[in-house]
């Protein structure tokens, strides 16, 4: 299992320090939520923040693009330091172009579905990507409740793609819901509010138990 703490819930005033604490406790990936105020109602941060934190860690930068027409910006996110880029099927008319832009730079490509989007919409792209991201909350905000009905989508993808494919689950993960997600077949676990609290080290260790 890979834990990918989401910095959306971190204290941005001491961001590098908080990332280091998660890394030291055993997290290998870092989940980076980019929001444009258009694809999702919220706005977060973008390339300059990613380029800044790139100097402080070698963790795998797992960039989750919640932006409309991601094909316009994929190159810039790679330049800023992304190791993997996940885009939303609902955000683009050109999923193949997105995958190609990511793969041609040698980076890992991910494709994501919102909770209300059928898993069939990404089915024909699965053998072209490295990861599927199943959203377990409506994208836009941290600290929401895990939507259990997405477990069947995780199960469907795991059955179709076999053991060697990355399936990431994002939203509402805590010490209880993590079991559900992993039982369904997820192997990359995003956690924001469950990691970036007063006890980052203890929280990471407990999720990785």
Q: How far is the CB of 37 from ligand DX5 (least distance, A)?
A: 13
Residues 44-73: x/- map of binding to ligand DX5 (CB under 6 A)?
--------------------x---------
By the rule CB under 6 A, 139 interacts with ligand DX5? yes
| 9 is an interface residue for ligand DX5 by CB under 6 A | yes
Under the criterion CB under 6 A, does residue 32 sit at the interface with ligand DX5?
Answer: no
Binding marks (x or -) toward ligand DX5, 87..126, rule CB under 6 A?
A: ----------------------------------------
Where are any strands of DSSP class E within 53-138? Answer: 60-66, 84-88, 108-113, 131-135
How far apart are alpha carbons 201 and 184 in whole angstroms? 26
Question: Looking at beta carbons, which residue is closest to ligand DX5?
Answer: 192
DSSP letters spanning 134-165: EESS-TT-SSPPP-GGGHHHHHHHHHHH-TTS
- For residue 165, what are the CA distances in angstroms to 18, 66, 106, 108, 126? 29, 22, 17, 12, 9
By C-beta, is 6 or 92 nearer to ligand DX5?
A: 6
Closest to Zn ion by CB, 21 vs 64, is 64
Nearer to ligand DX5, 96 or 146 (CB): 146
Active-site residues, by number, are: 33, 170
First-residue to last-residue Cα distance in the chain: 10
The number of residues that bind ligand DX5 (CB under 6 A) is 21
Q: What does the binding site for Zn ion look like in residue numbers (CB under 5 A)?
A: 33, 64, 170
Residues in the site for ligand DX5, rule: CB under 6 A?
6, 8-9, 31, 33, 64, 137, 139-140, 142-144, 170-173, 190-194
């Amino acid at each position: 299992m890979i834990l990918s703490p989401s910095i959306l819930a971190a204290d941005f005033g001491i961001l590098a320090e908080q990332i280091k604490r998660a890394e030291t406790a055993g997290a290998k990936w870092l989940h980076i939520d980019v929001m444009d105020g258009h694809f999702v109602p919220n706005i977060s941060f973008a390339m300059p923040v990613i380029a800044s934190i790139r100097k402080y860690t070698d963790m795998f930068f797992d960039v989750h693009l919640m932006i409309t027409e991601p094909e316009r910006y994929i190159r810039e996110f790679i330049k800023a330091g992304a190791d993997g880029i996940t885009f939303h099927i609902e955000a683009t008319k050109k999923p193949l172009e997105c995958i190609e832009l990511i793969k041609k730079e040698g980076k890992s490509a991910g494709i994501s579905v919102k909770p209300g989007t059928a898993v069939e919409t990404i089915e024909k792209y699965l053998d072209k990507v490295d990861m599927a991201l199943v959203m377990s909350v409506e994208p836009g905000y941290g600290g929401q409740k895990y939507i259990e009905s997405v477990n069947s989508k995780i199960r469907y993808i795991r059955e179709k793609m076999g053991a060697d494919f990355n399936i990431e689950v994002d939203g509402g993960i805590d010490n209880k819901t993590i079991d559900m997600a992993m039982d369904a077949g997820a192997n990359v676990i995003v956690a924001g509010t469950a990691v970036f609290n007063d006890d980052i080290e203890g929280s990471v260790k407990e999720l990785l138990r």
